[in-house]
Amino acid sequence: MAKLEILEFPDPRLRKVAEPVAEVTDDHRTLIEDMFETMYEAPGVGLAATQINVHERIVVIDVSEDQSEPLVLINPEVEVLDPEIHKYDEGCLSVPGFYEKVERPRKIRLKALDRNGEAYALEAEGLLAVCIQHEIDHLDGKLFVDYISPLKRNRIRSKLEKAHRQRA
């Protein structure tokens, strides 16, 4: 397994829309294992392939406290089950160190393929629903900072650009 580099905002590659996976292969399964290792080490609760510069519709999630509930989403689709909107404090491995309130539907239904290419569906609410929606946004070239005011977004951009220059 290998720890992968996570792209950081405002990297333009984070805006690329991911392509559907035509067939789940052993290469995809290896990528998924590497994504889990990277996510757990970061540490985070979700990682989309877009964040590691792989533009295929693949997401890994684990919202458990002990990393015991790994969830793989290949070609995920979401249906809103409860239109009631809740505000959640969101952060992102691609926007390190920043957290902002984001409004999202409270309850959703997910349809996806697992690591073996088998279709499944589940209903989610709370943190899992937020995480699923957040990661699918990545596949569509969106970031949580797109939901906040331009002033806050530009402040975050400036601070991260400064940090990137200092590391270079």
pLDDT tens, 5-33? Answer: 999 999 999 999 999 999 999 999 999 99
Q: Does 2 fall in a domain?
A: no
Q: Does 16 fall in a domain?
A: yes
Q: Which helix (H) or strand (E) covers residue 156, if one does?
A: helix 150-167
Residue with tokens 């689709």: 77
Q: Does 38 fall in a domain?
A: yes
**Torsion of the alpha carbons at 126, 132, 133 and 134, rounded to the nearest 10:** 100
Query: What is the CATH classification number for the domain harbouring 27?
Result: 3.90.45.10
Q: Does 62 fall in a domain?
A: yes
Which positions are annotated as active-site residues? 135
pLDDT tops 70 at residue 1: no
Q: Does 4 fall in a domain?
A: no
Distance CA 11, CA 78 (A): 26
Residues making up the annotated binding site are 92, 134, 138
The first and second tokens of residue 163, run together, are 């940090």
Contact between 148 and 127 under an 8 Å Cβ cutoff? The reply is no
pLDDT, tens digit (0-9, with 9 covering 90-100), for 88-131: 999 999 999 999 999 999 999 999 999 999 999 999 999 999 99
Nearest to 135 by CA among 10, 15, 28, 49: 49
Per the structure, how many domains does the chain have? 1
At 51, which amino acid appears? Q
Instruction: Identify the three-state secondary structure at position 143.
Output: coil
Residues making up the annotated binding site for Fe cation are 92, 134, 138
pLDDT tops 80 at residue 2: no
pTM exceeding 0.75: yes
Distance CA 123, CA 22 (A): 24
Q: Does 113 fall in a domain?
A: yes
Q: Does 102 fall in a domain?
A: yes
Domain of 107 in residue numbering reads as 12-167
Q: Does 79 fall in a domain?
A: yes
The distance from CA 80 to its chain's CA centroid, rounded to whole angstroms, is: 18
The first and second tokens of residue 93, run together, are 């491995």
Instruction: Identify the three-state secondary structure at position 21.
Output: coil
